[in-house]
Amino acid sequence: MHPDLDHIVLTEEQIQRRVAELGERISVDYGDEAVLLIAVLRGATLFIADLARRITSPVEIDFMAVSSYGSSIQSSGVVRIIKDLEELIEGRHVILVEDILDTGLTLKYLLRNLASRKPASLEVVALLSKHGKQRVPITCKYVGFEVPDEFVVGYGLDYAERYRNLPYIGVLRADIYSE
């Protein structure tokens, strides 16, 4: 375990097993229809890479980058699109790939923005959902894990751009960050 962590919440094996299950569910739901996976950078990069390899339906990948945290550990609720999609999504089956659903403010903004582009369908797959943290209702068709309201890092999730490369997810020690 990394010395900056208090404890591990999800092991590498647990994550990989659940990502495989999510990939299987998506494959069953979409069959031979093409799916466009859109990752929200940077946190969802590891998740989308593993997930795409587990989906047997035809898959395309695109990326968006948004900012709502800055250097804070809590979302500001103000969302800026830093990088928009390269692909048009009108008439396509789109799955927004998110690392973590906490307040829901960023995701609500993104869903409204993407829905205005008229996809055939628009769903969300979130690796993590923070229990009791949502400030706006968001329906995720696919959720990997419910986690407690603690500051987690690893498997793409960061604090100040660090810890993304950890193959597991753990709780950052409180003395490492300041609220």
From the list 4, 84, 102, 158, the catalytic residue is 102
Closest among 65, 80, 72, 127 to 101, alpha carbons compared: 127
Tokens of 50: 């593993």
Whether 102 is catalytic: yes
Tokens of 115: 């829905």
Pairing of strands 142-147, 121-130: parallel
Question: What is the DSSP code string of 137-179?
Answer: ----SEEEEEE-SS-EEBTTB-BTTBSTT-SSEEEEPTTTS--
Annotated catalytic residues are 102
